[in-house]
Chain A
Amino acid sequence: EDQVTQSPEALRLQEGESSSLNCSYTVSGLRGLFWYRQDPGKGPEFLFTLYSAGEEKEKERLKATLTKKESFLHITAPKPEDSATYLCASGSNDYKLSFGAGTTVTVRA
């Protein structure tokens, strides 16, 4: 069974204080590793898909990287508007996404 574990559960950062979120996964036949952002009361918002180990993708202050067992979401010089829950999901060949519980990031001004 596919499993995704995210750490830490919560992260409190000062504005400008860079950090990384971890996503560990086990999946039979990785179709893609997905990152989403979720704001309170909203649905998940798509950020990145990573397909193979060594791949990296960037968007503004966010960079996602992938190894064979983990993915990291690096937040560089975060701003208060980066406060959200970040969800990681593995996609296997059966088209389902298996989500982790998320990391809730709070950035203080």
Chain B
Amino acid sequence: GAGVSQTPSNKVTEKGKYVELRCDPISGHTALYWYRQSLGQGPEFLIYFQGTGAADDSGLPNDRFFAVRPEGSVSTLKIQRTERGDSAVYLCASSLLSEEFFGPGTRLTVL
């Protein structure tokens, strides 16, 4: 009875490095979302996939951020040339209808 899983749970990297964050959605969920949550704030939308295609990437802050979902299931969020301001919890959610179900998040710390 798997929910949404995300790996790694924690990632510490140095400024300028490249990172990949992985999301395994609930089986059968066609929609997948990435959000970013800073301390004391609600999640902020980044990108939405319907199947394999990015239906809405308007929340990606700049071109250092990119996400893929090549087979319509697992998704990877990729961040190039990380900056200290990228430090946050990155949340993934999936849905079949309207309700989105969230994973535990990946806490990214950029030193």
Contact = CB atoms under 8 A, between A and B. Distances in A.
Interface of A: 4, 31-32, 34, 36, 41-46, 49, 87, 89, 91, 94-102
Contacts of A49: 98-99
Given A43-B91, A43-B104, A94-B56, A99 B99 contact: no
Contacts of B41: 101-102
A54 to B, nearest CB: 19
A46 B43 contact: no
Interface of A is mostly: strand
Given A46-B99, A89-B43, A98-B45, 15 more contacts: A34-B99, A36-B102, A42-B104, A42-B105, A43-B93, A43-B105, A46-B100, A46-B101, A91-B98, A96-B48, A97-B43, A101-B40, A101-B41, A102-B41, A102-B42
Contact of B4 (A36, A43, A87, A100): A43
A41 B55 CA distance: 29
Given A95-B48, A96-B59, A101 B42 contact: yes
